[in-house]
């Protein structure tokens, strides 16, 4: 399998969250192109060629905004998909994830180790003695490397999951059903969630814990209506 270039796609709502993401990109991914899907009009991208700013939907759609960003990336590029509440912690984060993803041709989606909040415990504590740990569960999408072959095979996120949650469960299941593997690496770490800046992630700041629970429940119902009891345990 040929190794593709990578474009980072980040969804962003708040200027301060984005500025922190931008700074970690400047330090640890200084040459990787980045598409920013903006949910508000109160900030701009750096005036550098590698940054592309696109406007998200009004009203906000989680899967819809994601698809806008993925579709704006070059069709020959893989996607490193992040939220603006993610921080890179080491040089060559995107390139190292790409190399690890291509070390197994069957990997479709690869997660770094997530320091901070994440729903799949394997993404928080993958096997430290191996480069790759394979997940039978879905992967949460605070930061995931997605090969172009996956997008070419199964398409984009299902836009009925417009609110918080279950878009990643649905996409993980579709990826597995298409014959790809889901994996986590302990060799690359990113941080998810911020301390000392209001609520510690974008969704909590935006809609609060009660809103997150309500939206998650709504999307859970949509998932089981679509799939019945099929799931990634």
pLDDT tens digits along 95-146 = 999 999 999 999 999 999 999 878 899 999 999 999 999 999 999 999 999 9
Q: Is the pLDDT of residue 10 over 90?
A: yes
Residue 199's pLDDT band, with cuts at 50, 70 and 90, is: very low
Q: Is the pLDDT of residue 197 over 50?
A: no
Q: Is the pLDDT of residue 233 over 80?
A: no
User: What one-character DSSP code corresponds to residue 92?
Assistant: T
Question: What is the predicted pLDDT for the residue at 148?
Answer: 98
Strand partners for 114: 190
Euclidean distance between CA atoms 149 and 82, whole angstroms: 19
pTM to 2 decimal places: 0.93
Which residue segments constitute the domains of the chain, with CATH numbers given? 6-227 (3.90.550.10)
Euclidean distance between CA atoms 140 and 119, whole angstroms: 6
Q: Is the pLDDT of residue 196 over 50?
A: no
């Amino acid at each position: 399998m040929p190794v593709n270039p990578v474009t980072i796609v980040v969804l962003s709502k708040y200027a301060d969250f984005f500025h922190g993401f931008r700074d970690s990109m400047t330090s640890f991914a200084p040459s990787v192109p980045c598409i920013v899907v903006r949910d508000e009009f109160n900030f701009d991208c750096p005036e550098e060629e590698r940054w592309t700013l696109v406007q998200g939907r009004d009203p906000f759609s989680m899967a819809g905004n994601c698809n806008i960003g993925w579709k704006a990336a070059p069709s020959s590029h893989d996607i490193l998909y992040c939220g603006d509440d993610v921080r890179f912690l080491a040089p060559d984060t995107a390139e190292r994830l790409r190399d690890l993803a291509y070390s197994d041709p069957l990997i479709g989606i690869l997660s770094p180790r997530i320091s901070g909040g994440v729903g799949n415990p394997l993404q928080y504590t993958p096997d430290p003695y191996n480069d790759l740990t394979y997940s039978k569960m879905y992967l949460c999408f605070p930061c995931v490397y997605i090969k172009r072959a996956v997008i070419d095979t199964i398409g984009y996120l299902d836009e009925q999951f417009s609110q918080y949650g279950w878009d990643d469960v649905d996409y993980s299941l579709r990826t597995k059903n298409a014959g790809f593997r889901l994996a986590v690496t302990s060799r690359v770490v990113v941080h998810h969630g911020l301390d000392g800046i209001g609520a510690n992630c974008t969704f909590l700041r935006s809609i609060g814990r009660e809103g997150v629970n309500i939206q998650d429940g709504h999307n859970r119902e949509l998932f089981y209506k679509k799939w019945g009891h099929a799931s990634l345990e």
